[in-house]
Amino acid sequence: MERQQRKPLAALALILIVIFGLAGCGENPVSASGTSSGPVILFSPIASTSVYLMNLDGEKLHEWQTDYAPGYSVYLLPTGLLLRAQSIPERPFSTLQGSNGGRVEMLDWDSKVVWSYDYATLAGQQHHDEFWMPTNGHVLMVAWERRTAAEALAAGRRADTLPSEGELWVDKIVEADPVTDRIVWEWRTWDHLVPPGAAPADNPGLVDPNFAATPGVDWTHANAVFYNAALDQVMLSVRNFSEIWVIDHSTTTAQAAGHAGGRLGRGGDLVYRWGNRRAYGMAGEQQLFGQHNPTWIADGLNGAGHLLVFDNGDVNTRPYSTVVELETPLRGDGSYAYDPATGYGPSAPVWQYMADPPTSFFANIISGAQRLANGDTLVTNGVAGRFFEVTPDGQTVWSYVVTDTAGATNYMVFRAVRYEADYPGLAGRTLVPQGPLRIAAAAQTNLGKGIRY
């Protein structure tokens, strides 16, 4: 079995609510009764077991207390429940090799766990991210599966790149139903490898087993998953490839393991990829560098339908971070235009945020970006624990730095999320400012030891 049943939440069978209303920015008005009624920020420091909600004045509005550190993302659902991944100590993938996660849970406003799901075996362990699907209330999870050296060699992996541990961690996506506590859909990178002897450039829908083939066990290192309900497509951020991959979700699990079927007729093969043409054997400059948090910009927001990506950069080849907005070559049927000579477009972003000078902003790990209702963009510098809002022309109009009770900063945060005051998940909540938010001082070196971002 790949799962351990925990606490089902049958009420989720009735949840068919439109996905997150991403927030705009502005002041946080306080009513005569002392309550806050502006946008709010949700975040969870990696070195903490608490999740915080604050207003734009940096005042604490609410705190959820949990058993373990995050693993890593956290969201406030339209239902009012908190969805988070959790790094459980008994996870089977070695912490010394950089594992995190293992559990996904939902908490009510009072921190009571109403659903908990362990996905933590060598056949599958959740890590980094999860995503609530508004169409059915299911939860997508990024997960590792273990593959042996013998399996890797049979798949065409070069022997000189195999880790000394004799195994590879390979990413997959699973969809869990909180009502039944069962995996109802699965997609695996391993099912879509370029066959031995075949050219990656002739197979852009497949994954080259010898790309990013370093001796490390964590081969692909996905760090985010996102679902587009209108297209019924799933997007995966693959850090070690410096690519984003898009997969047709309209398939069955059996079709997702093959190369035919589904709405686009391609099974589980990649229907779009962007960021690094060399990953599929094409020439051209690298476009992304270890990116995080790719999202489809929601309807009604500036750039709706485009992709927004936090592009981390690389300490050796491009030592600065940007945020890029992409207009994909999407066709009317949900497929993507592909040029055999140049690969997948676009050739350049339609918008990007770049600091002045560029090297003044470099978050080489974690971090994120979110398009706001007013057209601005919320940026998370996850390394520094700093959140800031930039206008379309790159001006910073708001910022906040996570600070503890001793005045220390530099608390790493995977990403922050902003919600409008009228967000459904806040309905009926009286948010009373409790003074400046100061998180409890934490031994970051202990909670974060061995965790890869």
Tens of pLDDT along 173-218?
999 999 999 999 999 999 999 999 999 999 999 999 999 999 899 9
**What's the pLDDT tens digit per position in 118-142?**
999 989 999 999 999 999 999 999 9
Domain boundaries, the chain: 4-447
Confidence at 442, pLDDT banded by 50, 70, 90: confident
Confidence at 97, pLDDT banded by 50, 70, 90: low
Question: Mean pLDDT across the chain, nearest whole number?
Answer: 91
- Give yes or no for a contact between 321 and 367, defined as CB atoms under 8 angstroms apart: yes
Q: Which of 1-5, 271-275, 303-307, 393-397 has the lowest mean pLDDT?
A: 1-5
pLDDT at 5 over 60: no
pTM over cut 0.85: yes
Please state the rounded mean pLDDT for residues 381-394: 98
What single letter denotes the amino acid at residue 155? A
- Percent of the chain at pLDDT above 70? 89
For domain 4-447, give the fold.
Neuraminidase (2.120.10)
pLDDT at 28 over 70: no
Triad 444, 124, 103: Cα angle to 5°: 45
- The confidence score (pLDDT) of residue 3 equals 33
- Give yes or no for a contact between 353 and 368, defined as CB atoms under 8 angstroms apart: no
Q: Which of 32-36, 74-78, 284-288 has the lowest mean pLDDT?
A: 32-36
Side by side, the strands of the sheet bearing 307-311 are 292-296, 307-311, 322-326, 351-354
- The confidence score (pLDDT) of residue 368 equals 98
Give the CB-side neighbour count of residue 81, counting CA atoms within 13 A. Answer: 20
pLDDT at 6 over 80: no
